[in-house]
Amino acid sequence: MKRFNILTILLTAIIGFTATTAGAADATHKVVIQVSSADAGTQNLALNNAANILKDLGPGNVQVEIVAYGPGLSMLTVKGKTAKRVKNMAFNEDLQFSACNNTMNAVMKKTGHKPVLTKGVKVVPAGVVRIMELQEKGYSYIRP
């Protein structure tokens, strides 16, 4: 009888621990912010959204990814109007900036050179596909 009780207690504890751990992993918020406009006001609004989300939810509680493509790619370049803000925010481990390689190739075809991105920005094959993939992984979608 004692053996059965100990086994039951152990199994209950393991199941409870697993459920608690799974719940904690699900509690992390995930947000993707689309930037497809060259408008500095829109780009700053996206950065404000990201900063507010990170501040309100706190470190380790949210993952934010800003995906820029088309005219919005200017936000992630060293010559962009928001370059200083992006540079200051780029090394927050809860925030990722992603630049569309399709857009970069289109710029190269038009100008003869790829845009120079701010340090810390990663390049993804296609911005719209990246947004779709993140939404499929449960990311909330924001477009300022």
3-state per-residue secondary structure call for the chain: CHHHHHHHHHHHHHHHHHHHHHHHHHCCEEEEEEECCCCHHHHHHHHHHHHHHHHHHCCCCEEEEEEECHHHHHHHECCCCCHHHHHHHCCCCCEEEEEEHHHHHHHHHHHCCCCCECCCCEEECCHHHHHHHHHHCCCEEECC
pLDDT at position 6: 57
pLDDT exceeds 90 at position 100: yes
CATH superfamily of 29-142: DsrEFH-like (3.40.1260.10)
pLDDT tens across 37-85, in order? 999 999 999 999 999 999 999 999 999 999 999 999 999 999 999 999 9
pTM, two decimal places: 0.81
Query: What integer is the mean pLDDT of 119-124?
Result: 97
Domain boundaries of the chain, sorted by first residue? 29-142
pLDDT of residue 27: 41
